[in-house]
Amino acid sequence: MRESTKEACGEKKRLITAGESAKEISIYQYSMSEYTHSRRQKWSQNSHTTAKEEIFRLFDEKPTSGLGFLDAESSLPPPPPCLEVLASEVSPSAKYTVEPVNIGGLTLFKGRVSTQEVFTLANSDLVPGKYEGGLKLWEGSLDLITALSSEIQDGRLSFTGKRVLELGCGHGLPGIFACLKGAAVVHFQDFNSEVLQCLTIPNVTVNIKKISQHLAPDVEEGPINTETRFFSGDWGEVHRVLSCVCSNEYNIGSHPQLDQAAGYDVILMAETVYSISALPNLYKLVKKCLSNPHGVVYMAAKKYYFGVGGGSRRFLALVEKDGAFTSSLVAEVADGSSNVREVWKLHLK
């Protein structure tokens, strides 16, 4: 969900767009084809190419001084209420423009929305407890889609008929990918309802419409009939509004075709483990929502988020201590200069 300072692979160009500041998080635009060529990966299908695409990096090895994220987390405001955001509740005021994103030969579409316009944040890309960076496209989501595609090709994953939850969705591209691959249900969750209204819902609508119109060969079979729903709120409470959780105690929603207590078959999350203070609630939410015993979690993240203390290894330490899951490394992205990025798979024991 969020990336920061300096050192992206390939040709780099720093941007300062209207209403946004590069003071806290450096933003780079670069050729994704050159990026793919230069990076070292542990998967065979490894291209992230996109025309005029912006990829954002969160808390790299050389954190900008004075960010104050750790201090801010000690006195966070009360989280927003947890609620379901209807697909019809698209924000009429935010300006939404569409850009293509090519990932390993699959073209998806992402929106561009101004943080200033939505949150009136002219000098911040992230304000803990208020805005958690959901309007940016973070590179971990592209890593995750590439890894999921590889898993499908190798016969280790199928979305067909599955119930999927994307946590910390932002643009929602991994969840959209699941829609295109035949998922029966995809639910999108983000901390901010504004992100869902201004970006996620329009992204889902645009992608399904465009793919359906062009009958892209990447779509599994026939038209896309996925049930999509959208939920906002903090990870510590959002289980109360999600409809596919493992315990009837939290089962608020209803869907006549689904066994509500069964949970989600697949949980997706990219760039969600940067904040140490949020990791326990995130892990508890995963345990409440994942289908038992065959559910699977795919997590894309930096190995470490320098300056804030989180990272894939910190989250995995929490998982290992609890002992409920087994974990395996699906993919690693390393260029030798910037932070290592990883994609992990978790299964209940």
Give the model confidence (pLDDT) of 274-303 as tens digits: 999 999 999 999 999 999 999 999 999 999
Strand order in the sheet with 185-190: 40-41, 325-334, 341-348, 296-302, 266-270, 163-167, 185-190, 227-232, 83-85
What is the mean predicted confidence (pLDDT) over 164-188? 98
Q: Considering just the CA atoms, what is the radius of gyration of the chain in Å?
A: 18
Q: Tell me the pLDDT band of 46, cut-offs 50, 70 and 90.
A: very low
Spatial separation of the C-alpha atoms in residues 7 and 16, rounded to whole Å: 17
pLDDT at 215: 53
Spatial separation of the C-alpha atoms in residues 282 and 275, rounded to whole Å: 10
Query: How big, in percent rounded to 5, are the helix, strand and coil portions of the chain?
Result: 30, 25, 50
Output the CA–CA distances (angstroms, integers) from residue 317 to 288, 307, 313, 325, in the order listed: 19, 18, 6, 11
pLDDT at 299: 99
pLDDT at 41: 43
- The token duo for 121 is 């944040």
Check: CB of residue 58 under 8 Å from CB of residue 341. no
- The Cα diameter of the chain in Å comes to 52
Mean pLDDT (the chain) is 78
Q: DSSP per residue over 109-133, as a string?
A: EEEE--HHHHH--SS-S-BTTTB-S
Check: CB of residue 2 under 8 Å from CB of residue 275. no
pLDDT at 182: 95
Four-CA torsion 344, 195, 99, 227, nearest 10 degrees: 70
Q: Tell me the pLDDT band of 316, cut-offs 50, 70 and 90.
A: very high
This prediction has a pTM of 0.76
Q: What is the pLDDT of residues 107-144, one digit of tens each?
A: 999 999 888 888 877 656 677 778 887 888 989 999 99
Strand order in the sheet with 106-112: 48-49, 97-103, 106-112
What is the mean predicted confidence (pLDDT) over 93-118? 90
Domain 68-96+141-348 = CATH 3.40.50.150: yes
Q: What is the pLDDT of residues 228-259, one digit of tens each?
A: 999 999 999 999 999 888 654 343 333 444 45
3-state secondary structure 294-319: CCEEEEEEECCCCCCECCHHHHHHHH
pLDDT at 120: 77
More confident residue, 33 or 92: 92
Residue in this structure with the two tokens 């808390």, named with its chain if needed: 59
pLDDT at 232: 97
